[in-house]
């Protein structure tokens, strides 16, 4: 189990993660794609990264809009593990 970050630690970490915001005990990012197929290709890439990291985001898909949410359920909040995964997702997104 990892240590939950304080609100100021989360805020500091998110300064280096463009597009990510804190929402309650999660961090999330929404990405828009040209179409459904492109959005699904992105989600499939994230699935591979998440599986290799053994840290899986909640994913909502609405046609060409994908929202990813991260929290460490076993720790009860946002941890460094979530911040690292957000960085990996951002790398896949190319932004």
Mean pLDDT of the chain: 95
Question: Residue 12's pLDDT is what?
Answer: 96
Q: What is the model's pTM? A: 0.92
65-70/26-32 β-pairing: antiparallel
Question: For the segment 31-70, what is each residue's pLDDT rounded down to a tens digit?
Answer: 999 999 999 999 999 999 999 999 999 999 999 999 999 9
For residue 72, what is the DSSP state? B
Q: What is the pLDDT of residue 79?
A: 97
CATH code 3.40.50.2300 for 7-93:
no
- Residues 68/89, Cβ–Cβ less than 8 Å: yes
What is the rounded distance in angstroms from the CA atom of residue 53 to the CA atom of residue 30? Answer: 21
């Amino acid at each position: 189990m990892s240590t939950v970050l304080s609100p100021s630690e989360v805020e500091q970490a998110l300064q280096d993660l463009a597009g990510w915001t804190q929402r309650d005990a999660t961090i999330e990012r929404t990405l828009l794609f040209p179409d459904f197929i492109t959005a699904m290709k992105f989600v499939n890439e994230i699935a591979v990264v998440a599986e290799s990291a053994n840290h899986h985001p909640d994913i909502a898909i609405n046609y060409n809009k994908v929202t990813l949410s991260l929290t460490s359920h076993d720790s009860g909040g946002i941890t460094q593990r979530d911040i690292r995964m957000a960085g990996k997702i951002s790398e896949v997104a190319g932004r």
